[in-house]
C-alpha cells in the first residue's frame, strides 16, 4: 500500500518536472542556502534587483513578442527614466526640505515614478512613429535583423544625445525616503529599497492583470501570436503596436526612476540593465513575458551570488557563460518561446 | 564572378587578380600619395587617415560575415581585442617578433571564430547575433578581471611596430593590409564558396536542400573574418601602443557596423570606401564642435537609422545604380574594368 502510494507520488512528481519547474525549485533552494550562509542581505538584494530587472525584461519580451523587434535601445529608456526622475525629484526634494510637513514627502517619489512612466511612454510613441513605422511601411523583409540594427542606431543617438544636452556627469539623488531603515528579521533594509521593490511588485502585478484579463491585453497577446489572424478579426494592429511600444518603454522608464537612488543618471547607465534584460529574455525564451518575470529573479540571484562569492566585475562573465550554454543546448529558453515568428523571420 | 571574360593584356590580368577596377586602383593610388599632399601632410591628419584605414579593414571583414552569410557578429571588436592583447602580451612577455606575434594574435582570434561559429551553428539571425554579443561581453569581462595578465583597466603597453616617430610608414602598412584584406575576401567570394555563402545568407533551408553543407561554410566564414580581426587588432596594438578593455566595448562594434552598413551590406568595398570620408567628417565635427561633446556620434546614429530606413542598399547601391551605369565607353571601362566589374571596385 505504502509502496503504491510512493510510486504514485513519484509518478506525479516526474510528470510535473519540466525544466521550468526544476529551475524554479533550484533557484529557491540556492537562494535559501545562500541566505543561510551569508545572511538576509542576499535575499533582499536579489528581490530588489530582480524586481527591477523584471520590469525591464517584461518590456523587452513584449516588444520582441508583439512587434518582433529585438530592442537594443531598451537600456536607453531606462536612462530616460533616470533622467526624468532626477529632473522631477530634485526640485520636489528641495521643496520638501523647506516644508518637511508637506504631503509631498510621501507623494513626491510616487509623482516622480509616474512622470518617468509618462515620459517613457511618450518616448516609445515617438520612436514607434518615426522609426519603426517608417521601416514597416517600406520593407518587411528580413525584419528582425533590420529592426535590430535600427535600435542599435537609436541607442547611439540617445546615449550621445544625453551627453550632448545634459552632460556626462553623474546626476543622482540621495534617496527618495529619509529616515531610519526598516528592520525585518534582523536585516536592515533602507526605505528606498523597500519602495523600489513595492513599486516593482505592484507594477508587475498590474501589468499581469492588464495583459491577461483585459480586452486590450488579449488583443496584444493575439497580435503576438498571429498578426494576420488578429487583423482579420478586426484588431487595429497599428494602434496595438504603438500601445505595446509605449507600455514597454514606460516599464523601462519606471525601472530607471525606481532605481535612481542606486544608479545615478549618466549617458551609459542603461547598459547593465540592458545586458541583464537580454540575459533574462533569452533564458526565459524570446517573447515569453511571464517566464521573463521568473527568470529575472534567477538572473538577479546569479548576479548577487557572483558578486558575493567571486567578486564584483565577474558579474558580466558568469551570466554570459550561462546564457551561451542555454543558447547552445536549449535555444528556445527555459520556459519555451510562445512566439514562433521570431525564430523564422 | 563566374561570367567574367578572360582578360588579355597584363594590366587587365593584374586588375583581375587584385579584384580591382581601374577606378578602384586609381582611388588606392590617390590614397597612397595623400600623405604628401599639402592639407593631409600634417601628422594628426595622417593619424586620421590611419584610423580611417583601420576602420576600413574592419568594415570589410565585418561585412564578409554580416553581408554574405547574414549573421551579425556582435562581438567583433572583442575578437579584435583578443588579437591585440595576444599580440602585445607575446611581444612583452615572450619577446616574440612583432610581425609573428600579430599573426599569432590572428590565429587565436581564428580559434575564437571557430568557437563562435560552432556555438552559433544551430542558431540563426538574431540568436546568433546575441550569442556572439554575449561571447564578446564575456571576453571583455575576462580581460578586465585578469589584471595580472592584461593590467585590466589600467591599460597594457605594447611595443611600437617601428622605431620612427613619423606616422607615414604605419599608414602604408595599414593601407597595404586593407588592399590585401579586400583582395582575399574578394577572392573567396569569387570562388564556389562565395556563392555558397550568399545562398546560406539568403535562405539557409533552400541552401541546405541544394546540397550545401552550412556547417563547413559558416565555420570557414567566421574563421576568415575573425582572423582578419585578430591581425588588424595586432596592428592596432602596435600602432597606438596602449590597450584598454574599452576597445572591446559593444560601442566599438557598433561603429564598425555603422560604417559597413552605410557603405552597403554585402558589397565588401562599400564600407572601405565610406570609411575615409565618414571618419574625416566625424573627426572634423568633433574637433570643430568641441563644446558640444557627442554631437558627432548623434549624427552618426541618425545617419545609420536614416540609411537603414530609406536606403538599405547604402552607398554601394547608390554607386552601382547611378554612377556606374554610364554610357561612355572609356568611363565604362574605368568604372567597371574589363570583366564587367561585377560588385568590384
Give yes or no for A324 touching B (CB within 8 A): yes
**At which residue does the C-alpha cell 530634485 appear?**
A90
Question: Would you state the pLDDT for residue A118?
Answer: 93
Task: With residue B156 as reference, give the H or E element that holds it.
Answer: strand B156-157
| Whole-angstrom distance, CA of residue B143 vs CA of residue B77 | 13
Residue of A nearest to B253 (CA): A152
Query: Which has more pLDDT, B231 or A290?
Result: B231
Strand partners, A224: none
In a domain, A4, yes or no: no
Q: Is A132 on the interface with B (CB under 8 A)?
A: no
pLDDT of residue A115: 92
| Percent of chain A scoring above 90 in pLDDT | 9
| Residues of A in Cβ contact (< 8 Å) with B127 | 282, 286, 327, 331, 343
Nearest-by-Cβ selection for A328 from B119, B258, B292: B119
Element holding B157 (H helix, E strand): strand B156-157
Instruction: Name the domain count of chain A.
Output: 1
pLDDT at residue B338 in the model: 52
Residue A136 has pLDDT above 90, yes or no: no
Dist CA A26 CA B27 (whole Å): 62
Evaluate if residue A150 carries a pLDDT over 60.
yes
Say whether pLDDT at A81 is over 80. Answer: yes
| Mutation site for A-interface testing, chosen from B137, B262, B293, B314 by largest number of A Cβ within 10 Å | B137
Supply the CATH number for residue A128's domain. 1.10.3470
* A7, part of any domain: no
Domain holding A155, by residue range, is 18-344
- Confirm whether A289 is domain-assigned: yes
Residue A10 domain-assigned (yes or no): no
Chain B residues lying within 8 Å of A331, measured CB to CB:
122-123, 127
Look at A311-315, B135-139, B235-239, B272-276 and tell me which has the smallest mean pLDDT: A311-315
Secondary structure of residue B305 in the 3-state scheme? helix
Q: What's the 3-state SS for chain A? A: CHHHHHHHHHHHHHHHCCHHHHHHHHHHHHHHHHHHHHCCHHHHHHHHHHHHHHHHHHHHHHHHHHHCCCCCCHHHHHHHHHHHHHHHHHHHHHHHHHCCCCCHHHHHHHHHHHHHHHHHHHHHHHHHHHHHHHHHHHCCCCHHHHHHHHHHHHHHHHHHHHHHHHCCCCECCCCCCCCCCEEECCEEECHHHHHHHHHHHHHHHHHHHHHHHCHHHHHHHHHHHCHHHHHHCCCCHHHHHHHHHHHHHHHHHHHHHHCCCCCCECCCCCHHHHHHHHHHHHHHCCCCHHHHHHHHHHHHHHHHHHHHHCCCCCCCHHHHHHHHHHHHHCCCCCCCCCCHHHHHC
pLDDT tens profile A323-340: 778 777 776 777 765 554
Please answer yes or no on whether A328 and B301 come within 8 Å at the CB atom: no
Task: Tell me which chain A residue has its CA closest to the CA of residue B294.
Answer: A160
Interface probe, candidates B70, B121, B127, chain A, greatest A C-beta count within 10 A: B127
Interface test with A, best of B63, B119, B130, B245 (most A CBs within 10 A): B130
Q: Is the pLDDT of residue B277 over 50?
A: yes
Specify the range with the lowest mean pLDDT, choosing from A236-245, B100-109, B119-128: B119-128
* CB atoms B145 and A345 under 8 Å: no
Q: pLDDT confidence of A1, banded at 50, 70, 90?
A: low
For the segment B5-10, the average pLDDT, to the nearest whole number, is 59
The mean of the pLDDT values for chain A is 81
Nearest CA in chain A to B124: A343
B158–chain A nearest CA distance, Å: 24
Domain extent listing, chain B? 10-336
A95 and chain B in contact, CB less than 8 A: no
Higher pLDDT among residues A141 and A153, named by residue: A153
Q: pLDDT tier at A119 (50, 70, 90 boundaries)? A: very high
A287 domain residue, yes or no = yes
- Rounded to 5 degrees, φ, ψ at B16 are -60, -40
Considering the domain B10-336, what is its CATH architecture? Orthogonal Bundle (1.10)
Instruction: Indicate whether A110 belongs to any domain.
Output: yes
Q: Which three cell numbers stand for residue A187?
A: 536585516
- Average confidence score pLDDT of chain B: 80
Proportion of chain B above pLDDT 70, given as a percent? 88
CA separation for the pair A333, A291 (Å, rounded): 9
Amino acid at each position: 500500500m505504502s509502496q503504491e502510494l510512493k510510486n504514485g507520488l513519484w509518478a506525479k512528481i516526474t510528470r510535473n518536472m519540466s525544466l521550468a519547474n526544476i529551475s524554479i525549485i533550484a533557484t529557491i533552494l540556492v537562494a535559501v542556502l545562500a541566505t543561510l550562509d551569508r545572511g538576509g542581505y542576499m535575499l533582499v538584494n536579489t528581490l530588489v534587483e530582480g524586481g527591477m530587472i523584471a520590469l525591464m525584461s517584461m518590456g523587452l519580451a513584449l516588444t520582441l513578442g508583439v512587434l518582433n523587434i529585438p530592442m537594443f535601445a531598451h537600456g536607453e529608456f531606462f536612462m530616460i527614466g533616470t533622467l526624468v526622475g532626477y529632473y522631477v525629484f530634485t526640485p520636489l526634494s528641495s521643496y520638501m526640505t523647506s516644508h518637511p510637513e508637506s504631503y509631498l514627502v510621501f507623494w513626491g517619489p510616487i509623482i516622480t515614478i509616474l512622470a518617468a512612466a509618462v515620459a517613457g511612454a511618450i518616448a516609445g510613441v515617438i520612436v514607434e512613429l518615426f522609426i519603426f513605422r517608417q521601416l514597416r511601411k517600406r520593407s518587411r523583409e528580413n525584419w528582425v535583423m533590420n529592426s535590430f540594427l535600427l535600435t542599435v542606431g537609436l541607442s547611439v543617438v540617445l546615449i550621445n544625445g544625453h551627453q550632448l544636452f545634459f552632460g556626462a556627469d553623474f546626476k543622482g539623488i540621495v534617496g527618495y525616503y529619509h529616515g531610519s531603515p526598516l528592520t525585518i528579521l534582523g536585516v536592515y533594509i533602507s526605505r528606498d529599497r523597500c519602495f523600489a521593490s513595492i513599486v516593482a511588485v505592484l507594477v508587475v502585478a498590474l501589468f499581469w492583470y492588464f495583459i491577461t484579463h483585459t480586452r486590450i491585453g488579449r488583443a496584444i497577446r493575439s497580435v503576438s501570436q498571429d498578426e494576420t489572424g488578429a487583423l482579420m478579426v478586426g484588431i487595429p494592429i497599428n494602434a496595438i503596436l504603438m500601445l505595446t511600444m509605449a507600455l514597454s518603454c514606460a516599464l523601462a522608464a519606471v525601472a530607471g526612476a525606481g532605481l535612481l537612488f542606486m544608479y545615478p543618471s549618466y549617458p551609459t547607465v542603461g547598459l547593465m540593465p540592458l545586458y541583464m534584460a537580454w540575459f533574462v529574455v533569452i533564458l526565459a525564451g524570446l517573447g515569453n513575458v511571464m517566464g521573463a518575470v521568473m527568470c529575472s529573479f534567477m538572473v538577479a540571484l546569479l548576479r548577487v551570488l557572483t558578486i558575493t562569492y567571486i567578486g564584483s566585475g565577474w558579474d558580466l562573465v558568469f551570466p554570459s557563460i550561462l546564457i551561451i550554454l542555454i543558447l547552445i543546448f536549449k535555444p528556445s529558453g527555459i520556459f519555451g518561446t510562445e512566439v514562433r515568428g521570431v525564430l523564422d523571420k | 564572378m563566374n561570367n567574367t571574360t578572360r582578360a588579355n593584356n597584363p594590366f587587365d590580368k593584374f586588375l583581375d587578380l587584385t579584384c580591382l577596377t581601374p577606378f578602384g586602383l586609381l582611388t588606392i593610388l590617390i590614397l597612397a600619395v595623400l600623405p604628401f599632399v599639402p592639407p593631409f601632410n600634417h601628422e594628426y591628419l595622417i593619424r586620421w587617415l590611419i584610423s580611417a584605414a583601420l576602420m576600413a579593414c574592419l568594415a570589410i571583414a565585418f561585412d564578409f560575415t554580416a553581408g554574405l552569410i547574414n549573421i551579425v557578429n556582435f562581438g567583433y571588436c572583442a575578437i579584435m581585442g583578443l588579437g591585440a592583447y595576444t599580440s602585445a602580451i607575446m611581444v612583452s612577455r615572450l619577446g616574440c617578433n612583432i610581425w609573428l606575434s600579430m599573426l599569432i594574435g590572428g590565429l587565436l582570434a581564428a580559434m575564437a571564430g571557430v568557437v563562435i561559429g560552432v556555438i552559433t551553428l544551430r542558431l540563426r539571425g538574431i540568436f546568433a547575433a546575441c550569442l556572439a554579443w554575449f561571447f564578446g561581453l564575456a571576453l571583455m569581462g575576462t580581460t578586465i578581471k585578469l589584471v595580472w595578465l592584461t593590467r585590466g583597466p589600467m591599460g597594457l603597453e605594447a611595443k611600437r611596430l617601428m622605431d620612427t616617430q613619423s606616422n607615414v610608414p604605419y599608414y602604408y602598412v595599414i593601407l597595404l593590409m586593407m588592399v590585401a584584406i579586400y583582395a582575399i575576401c574578394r577572392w573567396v567570394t569569387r570562388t564556389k564558396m562565395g556563392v555558397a555563402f550568399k545562398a546560406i545568407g539568403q535562405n539557409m533551408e533552400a541552401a541546405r536542400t541544394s546540397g550545401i553543407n552550412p556547417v563547413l561554410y559558416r565555420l570557414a566564414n567566421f574563421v576568415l573574418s575573425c582572423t582578419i580581426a585578430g591581425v588588424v587588432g595586432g596592428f592596432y596594438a602596435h600602432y597606438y601602443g596602449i590597450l584598454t578593455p574599452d576597445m572591446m566595448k559593444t560601442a566599438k562594434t557598433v561603429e564598425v557596423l555603422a560604417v559597413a552598413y552605410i557603405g552597403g551590406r554585402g558589397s565588401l568595398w562599400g564600407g572601405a570606401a565610406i570609411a575615409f570620408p565618414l571618419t574625416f567628417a566625424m573627426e572634423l565635427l568633433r574637433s570643430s564642435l568641441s563644446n558640444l561633446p557627442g554631437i558627432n556620434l548623434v549624427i552618426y546614429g541618425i545617419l545609420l537609422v536614416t540609411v537603414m530606413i530609406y536606403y538599405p542598399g547604402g552607398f554601394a547601391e547608390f554607386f552601382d545604380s547611378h554612377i556606374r551605369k554610364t554610357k561612355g565607353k572609356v568611363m565604362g571601362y574605368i568604372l567597371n574594368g574589363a570583366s564587367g566589374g561585377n560588385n568590384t571596385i
